[in-house]
Chains A and B, each alone.
Chain A
């Protein structure tokens, strides 16, 4: 069953288009992430779904009813679409229990639902606290509990983790996903953080400049991005030129199987974990070799940048389970397939800042 369907949604602010022909559908019980850089229109989309803003054209259906479309605008309070904004936006004058119970009628409040959702978010016993007595993470948990409490048809999360520090963010993400799952809620998460989108969501919708550019499960978006921009946006990417012959792409660092495509010149996408490096003593002919330029140490893994003899730089990611070549050491480089390729030449929509943002709280759409 589909919990949310957006069809051909368009919206402009003055002369500036913010949503152009946006379409997406969200399966009931799933968590869908709308991923895009600042200003891509994802928050506008979310506000339109919530009923806080109107579309210029297009249609929005929640469950089976049209809530937005030509001649139709169901106001926000009749949509049963609950919002978790950035920084929680708890009602500062209400206790935790009153915040959570805000969307419930009297009978529901007495039914134990408040306690139930507080348990879900791990805040049992916090009923009488006031928002200013909570930490940032706790405030977000309350905001989620408040949204879940009336069992909405859809929960919308607008960059809910962006204001939190990294460690807290990771644990809260998993708790949020768990709470949503256990409650059987359908949720849409808006974020500019690719790691957040890929790790949390069942389904990822990538937006750029008001358009949906890709739509699929996280693995698919990561492994087979539609274009260079998406490739770079959803993760570290090594883009090399190459030639496809007989089902293999041949590049400066070796050959790897490709998914399909005709033979010819191509651009090859390598994810760093597909690039292997092995320490060697002295380079011998026939091997692709390079020297280690630097390491980015991430604890569980390390991203190593290697400069090949011809000057090309490639990144390799490896788990920290063995000896690490030192900076300046010679290494052998090889590729593990399969890889994604595009016909060579400039891409139609290769504009914009392709680097995925890793900065916490760097802004929002």
Chain B
């Protein structure tokens, strides 16, 4: 695609991502400066910000350690059952935090507060780090590691000195998604009672139908996001993004023998998987066995599953369509414009779903009324919510299609569009598929925006789950929860496979 077309398309995508910001701006302006000051310049806001940031920091750090550690163990060591652990490390993506938190609360007495929240959020979100890092480890040039080891470096020292720096973009990207996710999460902090900004935003709605107050609080989340984005930008380094293609076939990585630490390492990963997947699974089965309420007919379950699948698939398709130009622009143009465009797409990612939902209500009612309460607007909301996930995937994939390939194709007489269709798009397809899978399963779990924007009468697995747990009908809710997790597990498995952690080394 030519640069102007690409820039224009990226512009449209950014507009979608910034719709919620426009809405916030309108409402906050209406509220006026005095109201804003009264709401925001309080010790409480300071306390909430501190808690939110602390939680984001702790969870991000824990996810980085757990994600990088398991990625390394799975891809670079002689860990037993490495492929199994690769899948297990991706699967927590399929577990919504509200299900995980609920399971923990029911399983452990007094399981509330900051550290329990941090634990549950870590267990649910470390795949955001694991997946990109495993993929980067898989791609990294083994020659450099060979060199380091030939210079007498111990394998571990080689990992720290040579491999880890190459992983920095992957780690930073994953960590950013984790941090933003933690800021926007409501499910875990609500059930585990940690006073974060997002919980305060929800409370402002639920407690007093205080729309203005809730939106004012949300602006602080945008500010916190800006801080995180700047921080992440500072850790980025240019370069080292080209796929290696040149001196012949790639050799496989040498797997480091763990020796006596082989089984303890496996045990550690086993414990992580048990905490992240086993606890929710046990709780679901217990609830199903204990309760007498029953879900609706099979048709109802099938309809909800069908709705979840179609709106999530549509959300994934639209999000990817919008993410493509941004990702390509970032990979092709290294200027400040591309960087700003990419960062902008992240800006509203920490906003709670209910705020995104309301902004789309506003947009639907005032701008796109024919779309209001149709699947289209819900799809648009998913795109606004999850664009960064897709942009990250496309940017990573675009690095696999270096611009030199475009140059060659054009020099052979092919028009830009043809080049895009025959060269760029096929090379991006695996990355696009991975991004789509991630967006898809995130859409499956989404609740607040879905409640606000779904067509009247349309139930998804998530809304059914919410409806049944609302009246303590846990047994009725369990099948929906189980189906939600199982259906999300398919794309999660696909993501694990995509990361290269499952496949034999060096093959396409």
A and B touch in the complex (CB under 8 A): yes
Q: Interface residues, chain A, CB within 8 Å of chain B? A: 47, 50-52, 75-93, 102-103, 130-136, 138-139, 143, 146-147, 150, 152, 156, 163-164
Contact B405 A50, beta carbon cutoff 8 Å:
no
Contact of B412 among A75, A132, A147 (CB under 8 A): A147
Q: Which residues of the partner chain A approach B402 to less than 8 Å between Cβ atoms?
A: 89
Bound CA span A130–B411, Å: 21
Whether A150 and B427, one on each chain, are in contact in the complex, defined by CB atoms closer than 8 angstroms, is no
Q: Is the CB of B245 within 8 A of A81?
A: no
Contact partners of B404 in chain A: CB under 8 A: 85-87, 89
Closest to B414 in A: A77
Q: Which residues of B contact A146 (CB under 8 A)?
A: 408, 412
Q: A78 to B408, Cβ gap below 8 A?
A: no
- Is B409 close to A, CB under 8 A? yes
The listed residue (A76, A143, A164) touching B407 by CB distance below 8 A is A76
Is the C-beta of B107 less than 8 angstroms from some C-beta in chain A? no
0/1 per residue, B400-432, Cβ < 8 Å to A? 001011011111111110010011001100000
- A87 and B246 contact, CB distance less than 8 A: yes
CB-nearest residue of chain A to B426: A93
Q: Which residues of B contact A93 (CB under 8 A)?
A: 426-427
Contact A150 B412 (CB under 8 A): yes
| Residues on the B chain within 8 Å of A152, using CB | 411-412
The closest CB in chain B to the CB of A89 belongs to B404
- Most-contacted residue by chain B among A81, A89, A156, A163 (CB, 10 A): A89
**Complex CA–CA separation, A219 to B413 (angstroms):** 36
Closest A residue to B427 by beta carbon equals A93
Closest to B429 in A: A93
- Which of B44-52, B247-255, B283-291, B307-315 lies at the binding interface? B247-255
Cβ of B238 < 8 Å from any Cβ of A?
A: no
Are A88 and B246 interface neighbours, CB within 8 A?
yes
Partner of A92, one of B247, B407, B427: B427
Apart from A51-B410, A77-B410, A77-B411, list 9 A-B contacts with CB within 8 A.
Answer: A50-B407, A83-B408, A89-B404, A89-B407, A91-B409, A132-B506, A134-B249, A138-B248, A163-B246
* Min distance, Cβ B205 to any Cβ of chain A, angstroms: 49
A234 to B411 CA separation, bound complex (whole angstroms): 31
Picked from A77, A150, A156, the residue with its CB within 8 Å of the CB of B415 is A77
Interface residues of B in 26-72 (CB under 8 A from A): none
What are 26 of the A-B contact pairs (CB < 8 Å)? A51-B410, A52-B411, A76-B410, A76-B411, A77-B410, A77-B416, A78-B413, A79-B411, A83-B411, A83-B412, A84-B408, A86-B404, A87-B245, A87-B404, A89-B404, A89-B407, A91-B408, A92-B245, A93-B427, A102-B414, A131-B245, A132-B508, A136-B248, A143-B408, A147-B412, A152-B412
CA distance A177 to B247 in the complex (A): 21
- What is the size, in residues, of chain B's interface with A at 8 Å between Cβ atoms? 27
Residue contact B411 to A163, C-beta cutoff 8 Å: no
Smallest CB–CB gap between A117 and chain B, Å? Answer: 13
Is B368's CB within 8 Å of the partner chain A?
A: no
- 7 closest Cβ pairs, A-B complex: A103-B412, A83-B411, A87-B246, A76-B410, A136-B247, A89-B404, A135-B248
Contact assessment for A134 and B248 in the assembled complex, using a CB-CB cutoff below 8 Å? yes
A136 to B410, CA, bound (A): 23
- Of residues A92, A135, A150, which shows the largest number of chain B Cβ atoms within 10 Å of its Cβ? A92
B486 within 8 A of A: no
> How far apart are the CA atoms of A14 and B354 in the complex, in Å?
46
* B 161-216 contacts with A by CB, 8 A: none
B248 touches A50 (CB 8 A): no
Q: Which residues of A are found within 8 Å of B245, using beta-carbon distances?
A: 87-90, 92, 131-132, 139
Question: Is the CB–CB distance between A52 and B413 below 8 Å?
Answer: no
Contacting pair B423 A132 (CB below 8 A): no
CB–CB B411/A81 < 8 A: yes
B365: Cβ under 8 A from any A Cβ = no
A82 close to B411 (CB less than 8 A)? yes
Contact for A91 among B248, B249, B423, B506, CB less than 8 A:
B423
Q: Are A52 and B248 in contact (CB under 8 A)?
A: no
Q: How far is the CA of A277 from the CA of B416 in the complex (A)?
A: 61
Q: Say whether A52 contacts B407, CB under 8 Å.
A: yes
Q: Is the CB of B243 closer than 8 A to any CB of chain A?
A: yes
Please tell me which one of the listed residues B249, B411, B427 contacts residue A50 in the complex, with CB atoms under 8 A apart.
B411
Residue of A nearest to B244 (CB): A87
**Residues of B close to A51: CB separation below 8 A:** 410-411
**In the complex, which residues of chain A have a beta carbon less than 8 angstroms from the beta carbon of B246?**
87-88, 136, 139, 163
* Distance from B401 Cβ to chain A, minimum over Cβ atoms (Å): 9
Question: Residue A82 contacts which of B412, B422, B427 (CB distance < 8 angstroms)?
Answer: B412
The answer to whether A132 and B250 have CB atoms under 8 Å apart is yes
B225-260: CB near A (< 8 Å → 1, else 0) gives 000000000000000000101111110000000000
Residue of A with least CB distance to B407: A52
Contacts of B249 in A (CB 8 A): 132-135
Smallest beta-carbon distance B140→chain A, Å: 16
For the complex, what is the distance from the CA of A93 to the CA of B414, rounded to whole Å? 17
Residue of B nearest to A103 (CB): B412
Please state if A163 and B247 are interface contacts (CB–CB under 8 Å): yes
Q: Nearest residue in B to A135 (C-beta to C-beta)?
A: B248
From B410, B423, B508, A52 is in contact (CB under 8 Å) with B410
Contacts of A143 in B (CB 8 A): 408
For A87, the chain B residues whose CB sits under 8 A away are 245-246, 404
A52: which B residues are within 8 A, CB to CB?
A: 407, 410-411
CB-based contact B243/A92 at 8 Å: yes
A135 to B402, CA, bound (A): 20
Question: What separation, in Å, do the CA atoms of A81 and B407 have in the docked complex?
Answer: 11
Complex-state Cα separation, A84 to B412, whole angstroms: 10
**Cβ distance B1 to chain A, nearest Cβ, rounded Å:** 13
Q: Separation in Å of the A10 CB from the closest CB of chain B?
A: 22
Contact indicator A102/B409 (Cβ below 8 Å): yes
- Cα A93 to Cα B405 in complex, Å, equals 11
Chain A residues, Cβ within 8 Å of B415: 77
Could you say which residues of chain B place their CB within 8 Å of the CB of A92? Answer: 243, 245, 427
Min C-beta distance of B40 to chain A, whole Å: 42
**Given A88-B246, A132-B508, CB of A80 within 8 Å of CB of B413:** yes
Q: Which residues of B lie under 8 Å from residue A134 when comparing CB positions?
A: 248-249
A66 vs B405: C-alpha distance when bound (angstroms): 26
| A102→B407 contact, CB < 8 A | no
* Closest residue of A by beta carbon distance from B418: A77
Residue in B247, B405, B419 whose Cβ sees the most chain A Cβ within 10 Å: B247
> Is A91 in contact with B407, judged by CB distance below 8 angstroms?
no
Distance, CA A103 to CA B411, complexed state (A): 9
Tell me which residues from 452 to 467 in chain B have a Cβ below 8 Å from any Cβ of chain A. none
Q: Would you call A102 and B248 a contact (CB within 8 A)? A: no
Which chain A residue lies CB-closest to B247? A136
Name the A residues within 8 Å of B506 (CB-CB). 132
Of B243, B405, B410, most A-chain CB atoms within 10 Å = B410
Name the CB-closest residue of A to B248: A135
Residues of A within 8 A of B243 (CB): 92
Nearest opposing residue in chain B for A85, CB measure: B404
Q: Closest chain A residue to B411 by CB distance?
A: A83
A77 pairs with B413, CB closer than 8 A: yes
Name the B residues within 8 Å of A84 (CB-CB). 408
For B426, what are the chain A residues with a Cβ–Cβ distance below 8 Å? 93
Nearest chain B residue, comparing its CB with the CB of A102: B412
In the bound complex, CA of A130 to CA of B427 (Å): 14
Query: Which chain B residues lie closer than 8 Å to A47 at the CB level?
Result: 407
Query: How near does chain A come to B412, taking the closest CB pair, in angstroms?
Result: 3
Once the chains bind, are B248 and A85 in contact (CB under 8 Å)? no
Nearest A residue to B412, CB-CB: A103
Interface residues of B in 465-508 (CB under 8 A from A): 506, 508
Residues of B near A139 (CB, < 8 A) are: 245-246, 248
Contact of B411 with A91 in the complex, beta carbons under 8 Å: no
| A210–chain B nearest beta-carbon distance, Å | 21
A163 to B244, CA, bound (A): 12
